[in-house]
């Protein structure tokens, strides 16, 4: 019984955290007056440009003034400035929480639709191709190498791996991205400079997918270079720690073959923390890599969040925060369940 | 306590990784100390961000050691400064001060610009008239420019002081009247007719240093050039402070210059103290805050632990980078806000780990013994729990530093860094925004990136070195 | 294994970078001129067969061009990159003015006990002398900018009208003179200078300088702030992005002093031969761009004289050019005198293109993006032309004839598919006939014409054409639309007068019909102002149409532009005339079915998509309406019935619907127009647009018809000056070169005081040579000294004004030969530093390295003896 109760308690707190994060976002957007400031600035900029071009045709000052005021009122409504933030944002947040994401103000899907859910789904596929695959690749490399290195601590491989993970940990992803573009696109002309497809995009779906893969090689390599070091290092440390546990030594003392000890004792206990990292890594990868997506002109979720903040498309900002946190919270809950079932020692 | 520390240090020192890390750290600290002592603290605002200061530097020039690699010799950057005239010719109407500059020019390409600067002029009667002319290796002489110092203003009494707090820089390059002088020179000497506007686009400096080919191409004329600035003075008390002539080179210094002519070696040097400062200060505060909350949460337990855990969960779940962009966008961009934000969102990971460690420690015998002896909670936490956790916390502190250095660089790259500070992230951001990257200005992009990596690696290596100290089991293995 | 590969990668990378890059070719060849234009063929339609637009990131464009991926890039490059490419033979560059930069000053009076130095006009004038325009245009913009002393630069046609006023103020970079002016004004205002800083009521005088960080304004702000500090002010530099800066400057009361200086930037519209809006925008408070921004709740900068003059210019309350110029010069003088804005520079966008490209026109207003290049440009030996642009599609790239085409990306692609009746001349900015030709008859500015029989206008209430015979109209424009009516739309249907009638009727209907205007109120209100002046249209015969309007301008081309019967490319709304069946279907979709909207704000308000004919699902909605039209046999006869004559038939309507439907089925979009290219494919996700040549034999133009090439520069070849003795007469000659009828104005200026001594129009001796005579009296009065002769050359064919400065001496009457005696002083050593990094930097670095290594060596040795046995 204890297990169900604690898990449900855990679920409740995570949901509370989810709601809190969304309303925290509303407070930052609204209370600090940011969204009003930026939206008002955008209205002002648009009215100034309109006045500059209108003055060429409308010569009479009164007429110009009248038309400009109507246009300004129209824009105020368009940007939602007619409603104060504490009315506008909370109801937006409430609609997002009840999964009715509604319509974006300026951002659109490539086909022209402005339903937030369509925009997110469209960008999600790009992020998955880029960031999630990079996370999986570097996780796999990390696991394979991590475990191999952990068994032969102190060997040359171990020392080299620690240097590599140090370098990989310290590399700024976006910088290595720029260097890869300079070398492989600018100098060697092997890969495209960025973007999703080459222009004109191949029409038949199979070629179009290949074209997409060809475009994703450099960005994925960038992300792998920057994160593989961390994966190797963490896996190696976890496996090393479990390898020292008493019950492992006991097993060896009982004369069990090394292979059996490694598989049944070390790996079985090391599995949950490694799994934790993999799941958490996947969850955070959804939020995309803003910097890499910027350098490679890759329209993923990270880039979408950055554009939404620049254009102050409030609905999209709140919706994306909600989605990122939701995915993360679900991942953590999954971990709780996994943790309990897999590792007998942990009992609440 | 001290013995344990010495022993731990010996353990740390045995690893090659830590030796390399410490050497690097020493170099970084030395460089930072050198920069802080030899450069004014407001260097960022007064010099780095003051474009006029770099007017006489070549723009987007690669480092001068590039010449060793390529057969085509690029012209060096020459600055001649005179504070006394080399000759004086006195005529009936007054003295003419002559400043002669000799330049043996052997490069394969013409210089990038020519300019001369006058400073601290004083005259008592008629305004001084300065002329610049050049005698080329082929013996041809051109009077390039004639400049008349500003006349006395209404109600001003002699001595008339000019260009004391801001020197007068006259650029030959891009000057329309010089273009028409050169157009006439080419017509007279080589019977080549080129419109002044075309000369302006080819560059006056190119024409001065070369001979016209048949189809309007220009070939560099090597040999000795004699530049002469002659200043007519009309009163014996007239005085000229300094005359400077600059022949703009195509390469410059140890690290080259960026598109504004700023000497990158100075900018990169200035990056050291800031990177260290941001990295260390932010990680120290974050670690202390995180560990503190972890210990309190873990040890005290109950309501307090629950609150801290949920807060940690809450902060941990917020997507960090997008939010940082957002807040930097609103709160404005200065280093202190950046540090505050990094701390505010950096502490939870450590708190969660430390709490789980403290939970295990709490149930150990000697803690129970201390409690039974009636030791106050604070004393226990500080005296018993903290030393156990200290090595791990210190390792985390080291490990966090590179994370924050990279985060600062990332934010600067997105244009949200502190604009008054020439950090490496700022230099890279300007390189990326001005498109220098894609035109092959590699000396502007690669060094800052490498320096970021080098500083970050230093701390990662030290952290790796500390691993056995922190994790006793690992030590036993070896 | 992965580790080793990665390490190798970094190694290879470094070596590659070091060896390859320094071998960048440094050819001395100067700019290749545009190859003389030989039309590739005489077939109707554009020069190339296929025209492709694709999106290339800004920084990657030069590399993409060199790699041959694109033939030209339609977005202006950054000045650093442009400067870097200037010398390269494999890249041709043309530039055109693209925007201007200024610093706005806050002139609001400070509360008592405090002082806002910028509220003193003399201080503001002083600040004009600390803007180092030469440095900013040469070093910060790398030569891709022209200095500006007032709101017009040498690239504006009206610059010649105010040429002498601009020269008279001679705002040169002279910090010392500025310091003197500021010192005088500040002391008069009661401020005190202590160790180089100004104090007022023993408080230091502080200035808040808001500097934008996104573009060169960052460096401009820094340069000016440094000079402000040298004047003795304490400057607080506030670096802000877009949102925060706009909010602080434009949305707060100037009296709150959230800002004192702000770095402004302005876009550049099409060049105006006779400007009437820029002078109001930059100087006249009524327009709303002067501090206070005409917000009644704020303190507002007031200048009634400029307001009055500005309104006269805007409302054309003058009979002829001379009175207009008089008002314009007076307003400019007042504006400069008040100096609420310090003007810095006009930025030149640099466009790169493949040198082999033929038929390119450098449009003064839009540079490479002129409509001329879309039809004339081609690459010898290739039938496909590829244009790179920053984007082909963005969220605000909307294609619809009423509320679309609001961003540069949609406009630049549309230009190749659509022929406007009128365009602006690429060099003079004057409206010129294009696909239609016209004659204008006007009784303006005060007289009226009587509208003849057969003239109709659309009545929105009764939904039919009503006669306006007998009414009055200021002007009549007679249009020859044969080049339209003898040709076809892209989907094969003939262009008929029905399209013209439906266009005008829709415009009036959507603006004056209550519920339609209420739905699209923003558009309706804006268009209403011009439509109020539309009197009526008369169909004369099968190719001639007359339009009657209440509008006058002293240059009749502007009257024609106002009275155009079809959409004009650069008007904000109704900028295109699609085939009438599309207009009908879209009106149905928006106003009757309410499934889409023309304007962005309406789309948001009603929660419907902002109609864009290039997006598949929007185009499909239009097709479905057309399907309905075919089933219902729909024929809006009332739109084509003028009096008893009907200008269209039902069968024509049905075949038009079917043609449009099959066009959608084949191309997946609904952009059907009449230009040299038709839109074949549009893929927003892949940022790609493909256009094919419209080779229909009825298309009126062929390559070579609209080629203008590079604007012939107006050039001052030589100005012959010589010394003259005081009291003698002298004549200087100026040799000019350039197109059209040339003219030259001259000034004689005392260089040290900047004062204009003489100003006049040079006497024309031959089409290219001009004489400037200085009378005996003038040379005698001015007396001996060195003076500058400034010559400003202009032409009626080119918007650019070229300047030349030559100095000459007026000698004393009796001149004794100057005796030269040479006394040699010992030559002092030349301090010649081959400037490198401060040498000690490398020295220090080496020292540190040695010390660190030594320390570790000693330290580890000391540790070993105590360490545990291995």
Q: Looking at the structure, tell me whether residues B165 and B274 fall in a common domain.
A: no
Q: Do C21 and B34 touch (CB under 8 A)?
A: no
Mean pLDDT value of segment A42-51: 86
Contacting residues of C for B415, CB less than 8 Å apart: 213-214, 241
Last-in-domain residue among B213, B247, B281: B247
Do C836 and B446 count as a contact with CB atoms less than 8 A apart?
Answer: no
Give the burial string for B323-356 (b: 16+ CB within 10 Å, else e).
bbbbbbbbeebebeebbebbbebbbbbbbbbbbe
Confidence of residue C846 (pLDDT cuts 50, 70, 90): low
| Cα(B416)–Cα(B129) distance, integer angstroms | 49
Q: Which of B10, B85, B128, B150 to mutate to test the interface with C (most CBs of C within 10 A)?
A: B150
Read off the tokens for A292.
Answer: 């890499």
Q: Answer yes or no: is pLDDT of C815 > 80.
A: no
Minimum-distance CB partner of A32 among B319, B330, B437: B330
Q: What DSSP state is assigned to residue C824? A: P
Residues of B in contact with C62 (CB under 8 A): 438-439
Residue from C68, C243, C314 to probe the interface with A (highest A Cβ count within 10 Å): C243
Task: Give pLDDT, residue A79.
Answer: 83
Q: Does C70 touch chain B (CB under 8 A)?
A: no
What pLDDT was estimated at residue C7?
34
Domain end residue (candidates: B247, B272, B306): B247
**A280 close contact with B: CB closer than 8 A:** no
pTM for this entry: 0.81
* Domain co-membership, B270 together with B242: no
Same domain, B275 and B170: no
Lowest-confidence region among A149-158, A230-239, B462-471, C843-852: C843-852
| Poorest-pLDDT segment among A133-147, A185-199, C69-83, C568-582 | A185-199
Tokens of C470: 């007998």
| Enclosing H/E stretch for C464 | strand C464-467
C737: chain B residues, CB-CB within 8 Å: 195
Q: Which two tokens stand for residue C650?
A: 């039902």
- The one-character DSSP state at B83 is S
Cα(C42)–Cα(B253) distance, integer angstroms: 58
**Which of B250, B254, B439 comes nearest C842 by C-beta?**
B254
- DSSP class per residue in C56-101: --GGGHHHHHHTTS-SEE-SPBPHHHHHHHTT-TT-EEEEEEEEEE
**Considering the domain boundaries, does residue B253 fall inside one?**
no
**Cβ within 8 Å, pair C690-A200:** yes
Residues C636 and C621: their CA atoms lie apart, in Å, by: 20
Distance of CA B318 to the CA centre of its chain: 33
Please give the residue of chain A at the shortest CA–CA distance from C562.
Answer: A57
B4-14 residues labelled b (16+ CB within 10 A) or e (exposed) = eeeebeebbbb
Given a contact cutoff of 8 angstroms between Cβ atoms, the answer to whether B442 and C14 are in contact is no
Residue to substitute from C4, C5, C6, interface A, most A β-carbons within 10 A: C6
A191: phi then psi, degrees, rounded to nearest 5 = -125, 155
Parallel, antiparallel, or unpaired: how do β-strands C384-389 and C50-55 relate? parallel
- Residues 164-203 of chain C with CB under 8 A from chain A are none
pLDDT value for C699: 92
pLDDT tens sequence across C262-316: 999 988 767 778 888 888 889 998 888 899 888 888 899 999 999 999 888 888 7
**Which tokens go with B425?**
């992230």
Burial of residue B144 (CB within 10 Å: 0-12, 13-18, 19+) is buried
For C39-48, what is the mean pLDDT? Answer: 87
Give strand ranges (E) for B70-137.
78-82, 87-91, 94-105, 113-123, 129-135
B36 touches chain C (CB under 8 A): no
C219-273 confidence digits (pLDDT tens): 899 999 989 998 999 999 888 878 778 888 988 899 999 999 999 998 876 777 8
Instruction: State whether B34 and B90 are in the same domain.
Output: no
Which has the minimum average pLDDT: B104-118, B247-261, B385-399?
B385-399
| pLDDT grade for A242, boundaries at 50, 70 and 90 | confident
**Domain for residue B256, yes or no?**
no
Chain A touched by B358 (CB under 8 Å)? no
Give the distance from CA A81 to its chain's centroid. 30
Cβ distance C288 to A41 less than 8 Å, yes or no, reads no
For residue A331, the model assigns a pLDDT of: 78
The answer to whether position B38 is within a domain reads yes
Is residue B58 in some structural domain? no
pLDDT for A346 equals 52
Q: Residue holding tokens 């997506």?
A: A293
Q: Which of B14, B18, B20, B330 should be substituted to probe chain A, the one whose Cβ sees the most A Cβ atoms within 10 Å?
A: B330
Q: How confident is the model at residue C741 (pLDDT cuts 50, 70, 90)?
A: confident
Identify whether residues B127 and B161 lie together within a single domain.
yes
Structural domain boundaries enclosing B87:
64-247
The count of other CB atoms within 10 Å of the CB of residue C446 is 8
**DSSP labels for A66-134?**
HHHHHHHHHHHHHTTTTS-HHHHHHHHHHHHHTT---B-SS---TTS--BHHHHHHHHHHHHIIIIIHH
Would the CB atoms of C28 and B59 count as touching at under 8 Å?
no
- Tell me the average pLDDT of chain C: 84
Angle ∠(C625,C627,C633) on CA atoms, nearest 5? 100
Q: Which residue in A321, A319, A292, A317 sits closest to A307, CA to CA?
A: A317
Q: What is the 3-state secondary structure (H, E, C) of C383-401?
A: CEEEEEECCCCCCCCCCCC
Mean pLDDT for A166-179 is 81
Which residue of B lies nearest to C175 if distances are taken between CA atoms? B166
Segment holding C786, helix H or strand E: strand C785-795
Across the interface, whether the CB atoms of B252 and C835 are under 8 A apart is answered: yes
What's the pLDDT score for residue B478? 37
Same domain, B22 and B111: no
Residues of A in contact with C683 (CB under 8 A): 200-201
Residues of chain C in contact with residue A203, where contact means CB-CB under 8 angstroms, are: none
- Same domain, residue pair B301 and B421: yes
**Cβ B464–A166 below 8 Å, yes or no?**
yes
To the nearest whole Å, the CA of A70 is away from the closest chain C CA by: 7
C487-529 pLDDT per residue, tens: 999 999 999 999 999 999 999 999 999 999 988 888 888 888 8
Highest mean pLDDT among A226-235, C132-141, C537-546: C537-546
Q: Return d(Cα C307, Cα C324) in angstroms, integer.
A: 15
SS3 C450: strand
Across the interface, whether the CB atoms of C687 and A195 are under 8 A apart is answered yes
Q: Which of B222, B247, B272 is the last residue of a domain?
A: B247
ipTM, two decimals: 0.81
pLDDT of A7: 77
Name the domain count of chain B: 2
* Site from C7, C22, C82 to mutate, B interface, most B CB atoms within 10 angstroms: C22
Structure confidence at residue C849 (pLDDT)? 62
pLDDT at res. C834: 41
B383 touches chain C (CB under 8 A): no
pLDDT of residue A82: 84
Task: Using a CB–CB cutoff of 8 Å, tell me whether C831 touches chain B.
Answer: yes
B436 at C interface, C-beta within 8 A: yes
Which residues of C fall within a CB distance of 8 Å from B31?
844-845, 848
Q: Is B252 contained in some domain? A: no
Same domain flag for B198 and B336: no
Q: In terms of domains, do B328 and B455 share one?
A: yes
Cβ distance B460 to A169 less than 8 Å, yes or no, reads: yes
Neighbours of chain A (3+ CB pairs under 8 A): B, C
Q: Which of A241-250, A288-297, B199-208, C659-668 has the lowest mean pLDDT?
A: A241-250
Radius of gyration over every alpha carbon of chain C, rounded to an integer in angstroms: 33
Q: Is the pLDDT of residue C818 over 50?
A: no
- Assess C833–B contact: CB distance below 8 Å, yes or no: yes
Measure the CA angle with vertex A96, ends A90 and A97; round to 5°.
90
Choose the closest CB to A186 out of B330, B438, B449. Answer: B438
What average pLDDT does the segment B316-331 reach?
A: 68
Q: Interface partners of B (3+ CB pairs, < 8 Å)?
A: A, C
In a domain, B115, yes or no: yes
Query: What's residue B471's pLDDT?
Result: 63
Instruction: Indicate if B306 and B430 belong to the same structural domain.
Output: yes
- Total residues found in chain A within this entry: 348
Confidence band of C36 (pLDDT split at 50, 70, 90): low
Give the nearest partner residue to C830 out of B80, B195, B202, using CB atoms.
Answer: B80
Measured distance CA(B142)–CA(C333) in Å, rounded? 40
Flag whether residue B313 sits within 8 Å of chain A, measured between CB atoms: yes
Cβ contacts (< 8 Å) between A68 and chain C: which residues? 288
Q: Tell me, yes or no, if C276 comes closer than 8 A to chain A by beta carbon.
A: yes
Query: Residue A168: its chain C contacts at CB < 8 A?
Result: 6
Cβ separation of B261 and C806 shorter than 8 Å? no
Spatial distance between the Cα atoms of B181 and B169, rounded to a whole number of angstroms? 20
- Cα separation, C721 vs C733, whole angstroms: 7
Mean pLDDT of C638-651: 91
B220 and B336: one domain? no
B88 plus B192 within the same structural domain: yes
| pLDDT greater than 50 at residue C10 | no
Q: In whole angstroms, what is the distance from residue C249 CA to residue C242 CA?
A: 11
What pLDDT band is residue B470 in, cutting at 50, 70 and 90? low
**Contact criterion met (CB < 8 Å) for B461 and A166:** yes
- Give the residue from chain B lying closest to C173, CA to CA: B168
pLDDT of residue C649: 92
Residue B430 resides in a domain: yes
Percentage of residues of chain B with pLDDT beyond 70: 94
Provide the token pair at C536. Answer: 């009526």
- Does residue B153 belong to the interface with chain A, where contact is any CB pair within 8 Å? no
Interface test with B, best of C61, C837, C839 (most B CBs within 10 A): C837
CATH code of the domain containing B318 = 1.10.3720.10
* Residue C420: band (very low, low, confident or very high) from pLDDT cuts 50, 70, 90: very high
Smallest CA–CA distance, residue A275 to chain C, in Å, is 22
CATH of the domain at B91: 2.60.120
CA distance C756 to chain A (A): 34
Q: Would you say residue C1 has pLDDT above 50?
A: no
Looking at the complex, report in whole angstroms how far the Cα of residue B366 sits from the nearest Cα belonging to chain C.
Answer: 29
Q: Looking up tokens 């041809």, which residue turns up?
A: B140
Answer yes or no: is B82 within a domain: yes
The pLDDT of residue C536 is 93
Tell me whether residues B319 and A321 touch, CB distance under 8 A: yes
Residue of C nearest to B59 (CA): C139
């Amino acid at each position: 019984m204890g297990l169900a109760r604690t898990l449900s308690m855990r679920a409740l707190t995570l949901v509370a955290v989810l709601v809190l994060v969304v309303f925290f976002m509303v407070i930052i957007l609204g209370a600090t007056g940011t969204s009003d400031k930026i939206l008002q600035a955008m209205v002002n900029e648009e009215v100034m440009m309109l006045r500059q071009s209108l003055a060429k045709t409308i010569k009479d000052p009164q007429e110009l003034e009248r038309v400009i005021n109507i246009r300004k009122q129209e824009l105020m409504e368009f940007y939602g400035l007619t409603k104060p933030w504490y009315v506008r944002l909370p109801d937006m947040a409430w609609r997002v929480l009840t999964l009715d994401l509604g319509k974006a103000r300026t951002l659109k899907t490539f086909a022209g639709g402005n339903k937030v859910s369509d925009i997110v789904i469209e960008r999600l596929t790009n992020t998955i191709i880029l960031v999630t695959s990079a996370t999986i690749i570097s996780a796999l490399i990390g696991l394979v190498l991590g475990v191999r290195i952990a068994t032969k601590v102190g060997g040359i491989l171990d020392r080299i791996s620690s240097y590599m993970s140090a370098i990989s940990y310290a590399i700024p992803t976006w910088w290595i991205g720029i260097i890869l573009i300079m070398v492989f696109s600018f100098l060697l002309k092997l890969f495209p400079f960025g973007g999703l497809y080459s222009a004109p995009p191949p029409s038949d779906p199979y070629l179009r997918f290949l074209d997409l893969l060809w475009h994703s090689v450099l960005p994925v390599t960038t992300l792998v270079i920057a994160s593989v070091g961390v994966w190797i290092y963490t896996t190696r440390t976890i496996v090393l720690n479990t390898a020292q546990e008493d019950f492992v030594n006991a097993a060896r003392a009982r004369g069990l073959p090394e292979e059996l000890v490694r598989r049944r004792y070390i790996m079985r206990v090391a599995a949950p923390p490694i799994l934790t990292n993999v799941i958490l890594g996947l969850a955070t990868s959804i939020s995309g890599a803003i910097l890499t997506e910027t350098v490679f002109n890759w329209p993923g979720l990270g880039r979408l969040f950055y554009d939404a903040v620049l254009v102050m498309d409030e609905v999209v900002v709140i919706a994306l925060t909600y989605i990122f946190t939701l995915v993360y919270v679900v991942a953590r809950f999954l971990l709780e369940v996994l943790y309990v079932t897999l590792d007998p020692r942990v009992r609440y | 306590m001290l013995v344990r520390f010495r022993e731990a240090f010996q353990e740390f020192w045995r690893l090659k990784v830590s030796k390399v890390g410490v050497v690097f750290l020493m170099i970084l600290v030395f460089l930072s100390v050198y920069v802080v002592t030899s450069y004014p603290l407001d260097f960022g605002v007064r010099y780095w961000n003051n474009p006029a200061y770099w007017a006489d530097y070549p723009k987007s020039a690669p480092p001068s050691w590039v010449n060793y690699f390529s057969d085509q010799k690029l012209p060096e950057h020459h600055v001649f400064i005179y504070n006394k005239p080399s000759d004086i010719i006195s005529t009936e109407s007054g003295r003419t001060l002559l400043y002669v500059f000799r330049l043996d020019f052997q490069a394969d390409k013409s210089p990038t610009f020519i300019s001369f600067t006058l400073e601290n002029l004083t005259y008592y009667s008629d305004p001084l008239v300065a002329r610049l002319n050049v005698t080329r290796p082929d013996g041809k002489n051109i009077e390039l420019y004639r400049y008349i110092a500003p006349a006395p203003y209404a109600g001003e009494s002699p001595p008339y002081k000019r260009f004391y707090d801001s020197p007068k820089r006259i650029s030959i390059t891009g000057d329309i009247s010089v273009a028409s002088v050169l157009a006439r020179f080419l017509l007279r000497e080589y019977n080549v007719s080129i419109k002044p506007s075309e000369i302006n686009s080819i560059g006056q400096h190119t024409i001065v240093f070369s001979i016209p080919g048949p189809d309007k191409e220009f070939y560099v004329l090597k040999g000795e050039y004699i530049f002469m600035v002659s200043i007519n003075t009309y009163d014996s008390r007239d005085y000229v402070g300094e005359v400077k002539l600059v022949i703009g080179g195509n390469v410059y210094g140890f690290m080259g210059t960026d598109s504004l002519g700023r000497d990158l070696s100075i900018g990169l040097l200035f990056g050291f103290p800031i990177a260290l400062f941001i990295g260390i200060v932010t990680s120290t505060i974050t670690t202390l805050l995180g560990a503190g909350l972890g210990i309190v949460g873990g040890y005290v337990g109950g309501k307090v632990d629950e609150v801290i855990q949920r807060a940690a969960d809450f902060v941990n779940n917020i997507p960090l980078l997008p939010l940082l962009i957002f807040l930097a966008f609103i709160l404005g961009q200065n280093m202190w806000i950046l540090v505050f934000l990094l701390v505010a969102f950096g502490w939870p990971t450590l708190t969660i780990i430390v709490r789980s460690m403290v939970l295990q420690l709490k149930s150990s015998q000697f803690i129970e013994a201390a409690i039974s002896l009636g030791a106050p909670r604070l004393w226990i936490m500080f005296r018993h729990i903290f030393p156990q956790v200290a090595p791990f916390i210190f390792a985390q502190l080291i490990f966090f530093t590179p994370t924050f250095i990279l985060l600062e660089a990332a934010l600067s790259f997105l244009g949200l860094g502190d604009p008054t500070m020439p950090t490496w992230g700022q230099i890279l951001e300007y390189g990326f925004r001005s498109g220098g990257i894609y035109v092959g200005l590699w000396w502007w992009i690669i060094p800052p990136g490498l320096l970021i990596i080098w500083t970050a690696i230093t701390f990662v290596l030290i952290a790796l070195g500390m691993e056995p100290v922190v994790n006793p089991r690992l030590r036993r293995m070896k | 294994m992965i580790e080793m590969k990665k390490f190798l990668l970094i190694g290879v990378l470094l070596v590659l970078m070091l060896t390859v890059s320094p071998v960048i070719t440094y050819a001395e060849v100067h700019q290749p001129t545009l190859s003389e234009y030989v039309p590739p063929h005489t077939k109707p339609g554009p020069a190339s067969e296929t025209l492709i637009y694709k999106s290339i990131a800004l920084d990657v464009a030069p590399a993409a061009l060199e790699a041959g991926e694109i033939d030209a890039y339609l977005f202006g490059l950054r000045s650093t990159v442009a400067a870097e490419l200037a010398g390269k033979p494999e890249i041709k560059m043309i530039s055109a003015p693209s925007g201007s930069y200024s610093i706005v000053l806050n002139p609001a009076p400070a509360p008592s006990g405090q002082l806002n130095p910028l509220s003193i006009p003399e201080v503001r004038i002083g600040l004009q002398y600390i803007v180092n325009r030469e440095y900013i245009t040469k070093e910060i913009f790398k030569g891709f900018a022209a200095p500006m002393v007032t709101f017009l630069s040498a690239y504006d046609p009206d610059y010649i009208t105010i040429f002498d006023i601009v020269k008279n103020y001679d705002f040169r970079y002279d910090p010392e003179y500025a310091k003197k002016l500021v010192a005088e004004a500040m002391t008069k205002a009661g401020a005190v200078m202590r160790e180089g800083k100004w104090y007022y009521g023993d408080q230091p005088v502080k200035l808040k300088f808001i500097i934008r960080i996104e573009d060169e304004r960052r460096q401009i702000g820094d340069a000016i702030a440094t000079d402000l500090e040298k004047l003795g002010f304490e400057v607080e530099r506030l670096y802000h992005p877009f949102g925060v800066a706009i909010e602080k400057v434009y949305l707060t009361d100037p009296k709150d002093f959230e800002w004192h200086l702000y770095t402004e930037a302005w876009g550049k519209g099409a060049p105006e031969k006779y400007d009437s809006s820029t002078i109001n925008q930059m100087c006249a408070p009524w327009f709303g761009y002067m501090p206070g921004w005409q917000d009644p709740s704020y303190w507002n900068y007031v200048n009634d004289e400029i307001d009055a003059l500005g309104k006269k210019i805007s409302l054309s309350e003058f009979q002829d050019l001379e009175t207009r110029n008089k008002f314009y010069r007076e307003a400019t003088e007042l504006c400069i005198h008040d100096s609420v804005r310090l003007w810095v520079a006009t930025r030149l966008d640099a466009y790169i293109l493949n040198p082999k490209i033929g038929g390119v026109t450098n449009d003064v207003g839009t540079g490479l993006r002129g409509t001329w290049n879309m039809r004339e440009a081609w690459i010898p030996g290739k039938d496909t032309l590829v244009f790179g642009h920053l984007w082909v599609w963005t969220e605000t790239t909307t294609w619809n004839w009423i509320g679309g085409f609001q961003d540069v990306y949609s406009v630049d692609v549309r230009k190749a598919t659509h022929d406007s009746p009128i365009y602006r001349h690429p060099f003079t900015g004057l409206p010129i006939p294009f696909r239609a030709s016209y004659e204008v008859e006007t009784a303006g500015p005060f007289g009226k014409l009587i509208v003849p029989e057969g003239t109709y206008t659309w009545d929105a209430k009764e939904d039919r054409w009503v006669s306006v015979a007998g009414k009055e109209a200021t002007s009549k424009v007679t249009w020859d639309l044969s080049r339209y009516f003898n040709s076809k739309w892209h989907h094969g249907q003939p262009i008929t007068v029905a399209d013209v009638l439906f266009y005008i009727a829709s415009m009036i209907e959507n603006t004056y019909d209550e519920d339609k205007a209420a739905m699209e109120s923003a558009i309706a209100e804006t268009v209403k102002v011009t439509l109020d002046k539309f009197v009526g249209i008369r169909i004369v015969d099968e190719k001639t149409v007359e339009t009657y309007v209440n509008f006058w301008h002293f240059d009749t081309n502007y009257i024609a532009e106002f009275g155009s019967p079809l959409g004009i490319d650069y008007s904000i709304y109704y900028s295109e005339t699609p085939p009438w069946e599309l207009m009908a279907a879209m009106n149905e979709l928006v106003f009757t079915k309410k499934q889409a909207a023309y304007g962005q704000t309406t789309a948001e308000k009603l929660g419907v998509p902002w109609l864009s004919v290039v997006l598949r699902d929007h185009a499909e909605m239009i097709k479905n309406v057309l399907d309905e039209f075919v089933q219902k046999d729909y024929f809006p006869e009332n739109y084509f019935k003028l009096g008893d004559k009907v200008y269209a038939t039902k069968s024509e309507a049905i075949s038009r619907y079917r043609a449009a439907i099959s066009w959608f089925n084949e191309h997946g979009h609904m952009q059907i127009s009449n230009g040299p290219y038709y839109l074949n494919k549009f893929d927003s996700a892949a940022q790609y647009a493909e256009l094919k040549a419209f080779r229909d034999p009825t298309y009126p133009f062929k390559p070579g018809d609209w080629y203008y090439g590079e604007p012939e520069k107006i050039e001052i070849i030589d100005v012959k000056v010589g010394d003259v003795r005081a009291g003698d007469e002298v004549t200087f000659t100026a040799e000019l070169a350039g197109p059209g009828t040339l003219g030259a104005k001259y000034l004689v200026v005392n260089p040290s005081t900047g004062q204009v001594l003489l100003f006049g129009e040079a006497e024309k001796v031959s089409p290219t040579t001009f004489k400037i005579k200085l009378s005996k009296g003038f040379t005698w009065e001015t007396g001996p000294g060195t003076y500058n002769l400034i010559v400003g050359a202009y032409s009626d064919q080119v918007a650019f004004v070229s300047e030349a400065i030559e100095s000459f001496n007026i000698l004393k009457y009796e001149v004794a030969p100057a005796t030269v005696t040479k006394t040699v002083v010992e030559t002092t050593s030349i301090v010649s530093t081959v400037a490198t990094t401060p040498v000690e930097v490398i020295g220090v670095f080496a020292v540190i390295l040695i010390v660190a290594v030594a320390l570790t060596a000693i330290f580890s040795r000391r540790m070993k003896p105590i360490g545990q046995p291995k």
